[in-house]
Amino acid sequence: MSRLVLKFGGTSVATIDRIRNSARHVKREVDAGHDVAVVVSAMSGKTNELVGWCAEAAPLHDAREYDAIVASGELVTAGLMAIVLQEMGVQARSWQGWQIPILTSDAHGAARIQSIDGGEIVRRFSERNEVAVIAGFQGLHEATGRVTTLGRGGSDTSAVAVAAALGADRCDIYTDVDGVYTTDPRVVPKAKRLDRVTFEEMLEMASLGAKVLQVRSVEVAMNHNVKVFVRSSFDDPSHPKPGTLICAEEDIMEQQVVTGIAFAKDEAQITLRRIADKPGVAAAIFVPLAEAGINVDMIIQVVSDDAATTDMTFTVPGADFERTKALLSERREEIGYGVLQGTDDVVKVSAIGIGMRSHAGVAARAFRALSDKGINIRAITTSEIKFSVLIDAAYTELAVRTLHTLYGLDKA
C-alpha cells in the first residue's frame, strides 16, 4: 500500500461536475488501498474575483487582510470536495492550512513554507482510513497567528511540500493537460508527451515559459526527492492516461540530448551604449535594478575598439520594461552612458536537456539552423543543460519549430 498526494488545479474543480470527476480519481486510488491526501486550488476564476474585490475595496490594502480574503477560495473547494467524496462513500474531511499546520514565513502574498506537521493526517490514515482534503495555497505564520498565502501557483508548492511531509510515494498533479510536452502543441502540432523528465529539466522548463508546473513546486520536489506525476483530471477516472513522471536523473535509463523547447514572450531588451569601461559600472547598473526587484536575465557586454567605452545589453521581464527604462534614465549621470535603447518585441527561445552535458556542439547546431532560416539572434545565454537565444517576436513559431525538428523531437 502506497501513500499518495493528489493535487487538483482550478480548471479541474471549476464546477461541481468537475469536482465530482476529480473525486472519482481520488476514489480510484482509495479503492486500490492507498492512503490519500488531496490538495485543491480555488475554483477557476475565483481567486481573480477575490483579488478584484480587494482592489475595489481599497487600492492600497493591508496585505494580511488580502491573504485572509484570497485564501478563502481554496476553503470552499476543499469543503465541496470532502462533501462529494462522502457522498461517494469515501471517508473524508477538509483541512485549512492553519489546522495541519502548514507554517510559513510572514511574507504575505508570497510566503515560503517552513515546516508541515503531518502527524494527525497520518494517524487518521491508519485509524479512520480517512482522506485528507487540504486547502492549497495557504499556511500560517505562527508568531502572529495570521493566515498567509504562497503566491500564484502556490497550490502546486503546497501539494509537493505536503507529499514530502507525509513521506508520500509520489505526488500526482492533476491539471487540464495530460503531461509535459516537448514544446507547446499549439505552436508545434508534432509535439510529443514525455514519459519522464528530470527535476533539473523541469525546473528549467518551468522557469523558461512552460506553464505546467510552478517553479517553486519543482524546487521543493527536487530538494526532497518527491516523484511527481503530471496527469489530466479530464481523463476517464477508470482508465487514466500515464501522464509524465518528474523524477531524479538516475531514474531515467536513457536520455535524449535535448528534451524540450520552451519559449517566453514576456521579455524586453535594454541596451546602454557608450558606457565608460571602468570598474563599478556594472554595479551602478544592476544593483539599483536588483533593489527595485527587477530580475535581469541575459547580459552581454561588448568593448569598443578604443577600449575606453563599452555597450551593455540585457533582458528584463516585459512587465518591468518601462520601469527599468525610467530607473536607468534617472541614473544616467551616475552610470555615464550615451544612449539608452530598448524593445519589448522580443522572445526568448530555449532548448533544455541533461544530455547536453555529454554532447559537444549542441548549441552550435541551433545557431546554424536559425541562421539558415534568416532568424537573427540578439543575445545568447548557456548553462550546463540549456541554452537560450533572444530573437524578434515575429520569428517565434518558426524558431521553435526549427529547433524541435533539428533535435528529433518531432519523432520523440
CA distances from 316 to 114, 162, 305, 391, 394 (A): 30, 33, 28, 14, 19
Q: Which residues on adjacent β-strands are paired with residue 132?
A: 37, 93
127 class by beta-carbon count within 10 Å (0-12 exposed, 13-18 middle, 19+ buried): exposed
| Binding-site annotation: residue ranges for substrate | 47, 74
306 class by beta-carbon count within 10 Å (0-12 exposed, 13-18 middle, 19+ buried): exposed
Under 8 Å between Cβ of 352 and 262: yes
CA–chain centroid gap for 68, Å, is 24
CA distances from 144 to 96, 102, 112, 327 (A): 17, 14, 15, 36
Count other Cβ atoms within 10 Å, centred on residue 86: 14
| Binding-site annotation: residue ranges | 7-10, 47, 74, 175-176, 181, 186, 211-212
Q: Which residues on adjacent β-strands are paired with residue 340?
A: 272
| Binding-site annotation: residue ranges for ATP | 7-10, 175-176, 181, 186, 211-212
Give the three cell numbers for residue 169.
510515494
**Ranges assigned E (strand) in 203-288:** 228-232, 244-247, 260-276
Under 8 Å between Cβ of 325 and 288: no
Element (H, E) at 82: helix 72-87
